[in-house]
Structure formats: structure tokens, C-alpha cells
């Protein structure tokens, strides 16, 4: 038997096990209230050298008109960290599965790529979306990373959290401590997957900064640009096919990342990246009625003014 994890690329909606609600039809219901401030502890935990600053500057292309329907968005140069364009870049918003960017960043540091992890019983009960991990099965860690960032499995997120820190709660402490250390002062996490909206938030600025930092790990970079991968699995599944949920990888020239997210509370969210002529850009759009169109417009703006 082959388990195929597929995506309806044009709509950005998963079929099969993926049972997320459809986005609201009308733009007016996409408005969200500001998320209250939550403090984060100070904790240093990193084996990678951090740049002195992840993002800087006022929007270089602020005078250029671009039609972006997302209420909060940003465009940055991934190579330099220069902010190119911004709209409510420091506004705190729910981020759904964009949370998994931080989860992957930390877990890649803690869980050996080729190690085998034993699936904890608790991860099989997390809310959808799940890839269907079975209690007690032993899985190569790299397979969980691909499912985390391509299929966006919430069970993968929890298992990698447990494998990294011993428990989900301990991993959450590390996530919030890392956000503080990186200077992401408008970011707070309440789950490794983003399935819990309450208290789980970030901003376009912080997400772009985190993504720029995450790209320093070559494995993260490789994962988020992968369009599809076949993996062998234990019986009775035998094999799985993970298809990346980021439609931009298939239809935008130079696209090479990063992650999609959606809950009914967050709306459609996307961190996108693309490289042309050796220059890489990062675009973040939150709560967008058309996240791919918004990301394309921002990336086009950046490349046109290169």
C-alpha cells in the first residue's frame, strides 16, 4: 500500500486526512483583533552563530504602490536583512502552521537527522492535520522533518518537540526562549504546530527575521524547497509520498520556500521565498484572502527594483 499525501495546488487545500475548514468567503470577515502582549523568558540556546541583526531599516520601496490585500505583510532581502516593503509589519497576528518554522529550526538542532525516534502515544491524538503516526513505531527523524514542512503534520510537530526536549511543554519553553534570544519580541508560541490559536502569534517582521535565520541551516533550506518526496515506511503502509503544500514552488519562477498556514482564526498565511540572479527575497503575508497573489506581487516588486 502506498499512502499519498496530496495537495490541490490551485486552491492550497489538502485532501485525504486534511480536514481543515474552508476560508471565509468575504474579505470583511477576515479582520482580526490585536493579540494581547505576552512576555517571554530570557534564555540562550544556540549552536549557530547569530548575525548582529536579522532585519533592519525602514521600507526601501515604501513609495512604490503595490496592491496587497493581506492586512499585514513584509518584503525583505534575505541576503542583507534589508526591509524593502512593509505594511503593519509589527502587528501581532495568529500564524497557524507558520509556527512550524520555529519548530523545525529548533528540532533540526537537537534531533540527529538519521536517528530513529519512537512515536509517543500522545502525538497520535493531536488535532488534525495528522500524517497518521502510530504509537510505538520507530521512524527516521528526517522523515518527520519532511512531513512537518511539506505536509504540515501536527503529529510530526509534537513528536519532534518530544524528541528534542523530552516533552511538549519543555519544547515550548525553548521556542519562546529562542524567540526572545533572536529579538522576536512580538512572537509567542502555545503549541509546536500552531493548531492552538490562543496566545500563539507573531508578526510579518518577526517571521521574516526567523526565516532568514532558519536559512542558515542548509537542511532547513533543502526541506522547504522540496516539491515532492517518496519515502519508504514500515508495513502495512510501505511507502508515503509527501507533496509540498506551497503552491508557489510550482508556479513562480525562482520560488524556493517556505511555509503555508491556515486556521479559521488566522486566515491564510504564507512565508514565501524566491531567488533570481543570485538574489533571494522573503515575503510574508498574514490573513490574506489570496496569499499566493499577494506574495507574487511583493516578490515581483523586489525583483523589479533589484
Q: What CATH number has the domain spanning 2-19+56-304?
A: 3.40.710.10
Q: Residues 68-91: pLDDT tens digits?
A: 999 999 999 999 999 999 999 999
d(C-alpha 297, C-alpha 284), whole Å: 11
pLDDT for the residue numbered 58: 85
pLDDT for the residue numbered 4: 52
Q: Which of 94, 143, 147, 152 is catalytic?
A: 152
d(C-alpha 119, C-alpha 133), whole Å: 7
Report whether the peptide linkage leading into residue 258 is cis, meaning its omega lies within 30 degrees of zero. yes
Q: Residues 221-279: pLDDT tens digits?
A: 999 999 999 999 988 888 999 999 999 999 999 999 999 999 999 999 999 999 999 99
d(C-alpha 104, C-alpha 182), whole Å: 15
pLDDT band at 3 (very low <50, low <70, confident <90, very high): low
Residue 167 annotated as catalytic:
no
Label residue 267 left, alpha or beta by phi (over 0 means left) and psi (-120 to 50 means alpha). left
DSSP alpha helix (H) spans, 85-237:
100-110, 141-146, 154-165, 168-181, 204-214, 218-225
Q: To 5 degrees, how large is the angle CA 240–CA 249–CA 90? A: 110
Q: What is the mean pLDDT of the chain?
A: 86
- Residue 42 scores a pLDDT above 60: no
Domain residue ranges in the chain: 2-19+56-304
Q: Residues 96-131: pLDDT tens digits?
A: 999 999 999 999 999 999 999 999 999 999 988 899
Higher-confidence position of 61 and 253: 253
Residue 152 annotated as catalytic:
yes
- Mean pLDDT value of segment 35-52: 44
Amino acid at each position: 500500500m502506498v499512502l499519498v499525501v496530496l495537495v490541490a495546488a490551485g486552491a492550497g487545500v489538502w485532501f485525504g486526512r486534511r480536514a481543515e475548514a474552508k476560508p471565509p468567503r468575504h474579505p470583511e470577515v477576515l479582520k482580526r483583533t490585536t493579540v494581547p502582549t505576552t512576555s517571554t523568558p530570557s534564555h540562550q540556546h544556540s549552536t549557530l552563530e547569530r548575525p548582529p541583526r536579522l532585519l533592519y531599516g525602514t521600507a526601501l520601496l515604501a513609495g512604490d504602490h503595490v496592491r496587497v490585500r493581506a492586512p499585514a505583510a513584509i518584503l525583505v532581502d534575505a541576503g542583507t536583512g534589508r526591509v524593502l516593503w512593509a505594511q503593519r509589519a509589527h502587528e501581532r497576528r495568529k500564524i497557524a502552521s507558520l509556527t512550524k518554522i520555529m519548530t523545525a529550526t529548533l528540532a533540526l538542532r537537537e534531533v540527529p537527522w538519521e536517528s530513529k525516534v519512537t512515536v509517543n502515544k500522545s502525538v497520535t491524538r493531536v488535532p488534525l492535520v495528522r500524517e497518521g503516526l502510530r504509537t510505538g513505531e520507530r521512524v527516521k527523524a528526517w522523515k518527520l522533518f519532511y512531513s512537518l514542512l511539506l505536509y504540515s503534520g501536527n503529529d510530526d510537530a509534537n513528536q519532534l518537540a518530544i524528541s528534542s526536549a523530552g516533552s511538549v511543554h519543555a519544547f515550548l519553553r525553548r521556542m519562546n526562549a529562542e524567540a526572545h534570544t533572536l529579538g522576536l519580541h512580538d512572537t509567542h508560541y502555545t503549541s509546536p504546530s500552531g493548531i492552538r490559536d490562543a496566545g500563539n502569534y507573531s508578526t510579518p517582521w518577526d517571521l521574516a527575521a526567523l526565516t532568514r535565520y532558519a536559512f542558515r541551516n542548509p537542511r532547513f533550506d533543502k526541506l522547504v524547497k522540496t516539491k515532492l518526496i517518496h519515502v519508504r515506511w514500515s508495513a502495512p503502509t510501505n511507502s508515503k509520498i509527501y507533496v509540498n503544500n506551497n503552491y508557489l514552488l510550482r508556479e513562480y519562477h525562482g520560488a524556493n520556500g517556505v511555509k503555508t498556514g491556515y486556521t479559521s482564526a488566522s486566515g491564510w498565511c504564507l512565508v514565501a521565498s524566491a531567488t533570481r540572479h543570485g538574489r533571494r527575497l522573503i515575503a510574508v503575508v498574514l490573513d490574506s484572502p489570496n496569499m499566493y497573489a499577494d506574495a507574487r506581487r511583493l516578490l515581483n516588486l523586489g525583483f523589479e527594483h533589484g
